[in-house]
């Protein structure tokens, strides 16, 4: 067996909130074979498991009781470079931003709008990450995952993953029941820029660049994200903590009657996405603190650890924000991170 059990492992450096917690037991997996060994292990295989990638979509409010499985599966390769598309494959433990940069270095555009999103490649489909006019689902080809009960390896395409807004099968029916080991992405040819997002339009408009290339979009996204969002290495956070709520036309129009200035976006299915950041700001929480946790002063969707905050403190802040928005707008905001 290649597996090595670690005990009483500090997790502060393994979650981007920087919350102090300890794993009673932790195993690192570096290949699909090791994941299957873990499932087959007579003692470890039967334990409940907490799968940990980059820790960027996680809030630990206590020491996890489950066996923590740290996914460190590496590897990047071009599976196929055809006339219609390029298929890339990444190990689940590869840093997402490293994957985006590597794809551009190989000459393949298509992921640049998703630059600088924290976390690992294996976590990207769980959340169906998205930013600046693009979602992972639009570049997804397939993934491999190991069933944590049977050890069976399955390959799932986009339809099987049932992607939604910051959602997938892995956040619902398969939550905690499988480990993603490889991810494959389809980058269409010819490459076409995705420029519909307002921040990008303003950026390139100021520069007078009508047709930016993939590298220019990558650099612009990195610059905009750094200006708007706190660096987790400096100020602990998990990116956007709340989802933008999606409502039907009737609810949106009712809210507009009382709050005509609310920011909303029409979706293709006739529903509307409301800007949660605007609602949090309008509820008086932007830049406000509760103990050692705070709502970021630049971006109201981001909760930050000002230093030494516990998971319970951050959760208390999230609950207070949630209650304030519900009281003012009648909308209950959903958390993006997984709460332990």
**Residues with active-site annotation:** 166, 240, 336
Spatial separation of the C-alpha atoms in residues 131 and 118, rounded to whole Å: 12
Residue 320's SS3 state is helix
Spatial separation of the C-alpha atoms in residues 279 and 252, rounded to whole Å: 13
Beta-ladder partners of 240 = 302
Spatial separation of the C-alpha atoms in residues 105 and 112, rounded to whole Å: 11
Residue 126 phi/psi, 5° resolution? -60, -45
Of 90, 93, 162, the closest CA to residue 126 belongs to 162
Compute the radius of gyration of the chain from its Cα atoms.
20
H-helix segments, the chain: 32-40, 96-105, 124-127, 158-161, 198-207, 214-228, 249-258, 276-282, 311-329
Counting beta carbons within 10 angstroms of the beta carbon of residue 273, is it exposed (0 to 12), middle (13 to 18) or buried (19 or more)? middle
């Amino acid at each position: 067996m290649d597996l090595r059990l670690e005990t009483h492992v500090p997790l502060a450096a393994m979650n981007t909130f920087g919350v102090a917690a300890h794993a009673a037991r932790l195993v690192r997996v570096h290949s699909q074979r090791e994941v299957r060994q873990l499932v087959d292990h007579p003692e470890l295989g039967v334990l409940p498991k907490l799968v940990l990638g980059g820790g960027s979509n996680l809030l630990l409010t206590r020491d996890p009781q489950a066996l923590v499985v740290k996914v460190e599966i590496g590897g990047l390769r071009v599976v196929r470079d055809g006339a219609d598309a390029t298929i890339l494959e990444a190990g689940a433990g590869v840093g997402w931003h490293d994957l985006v940069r590597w794809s551009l270095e190989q000459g393949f555009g298509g992921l640049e709008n998703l630059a600088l999103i924290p976390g690992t490649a294996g976590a990207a489909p769980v959340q169906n990450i998205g930013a600046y006019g693009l979602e992972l689902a639009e570049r997804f080809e397939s993934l491999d995952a190991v069933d944590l009960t049977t050890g069976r390896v399955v390959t799932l395409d986009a339809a099987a993953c049932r992607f939604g807004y910051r959602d997938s099968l892995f956040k619902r029916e398969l939550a905690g029941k499988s480990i993603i080991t490889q991810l494959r992405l389809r980058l269409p040819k010819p490459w076409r820029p995705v420029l519909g997002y307002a921040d990008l339009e303003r950026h390139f408009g100021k520069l007078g660049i009508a047709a930016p290339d993939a590298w220019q979009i990558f650099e612009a996204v990195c610059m905009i994200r750094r200006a708007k969002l706190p660096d987790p290495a400096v100020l602990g956070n998990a990116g956007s903590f709340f989802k933008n709520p999606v409502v039907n036309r009737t609810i949106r129009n009712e809210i507009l009657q009382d709050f005509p200035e609310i920011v909303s976006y029409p979706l293709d299915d006739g529903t509307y996405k409301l800007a949660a950041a605007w609602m949090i700001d309008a509820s008086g929480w932007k830049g406000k603190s509760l103990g050692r946790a705070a709502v970021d002063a630049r971006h109201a969707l981001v909760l930050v650890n000002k230093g030494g905050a516990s998971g319970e403190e951050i959760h208390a802040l999230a609950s207070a924000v949630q209650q304030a928005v519900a009281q003012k707008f009648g909308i209950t905001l959903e958390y993006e991170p997984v709460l332990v």
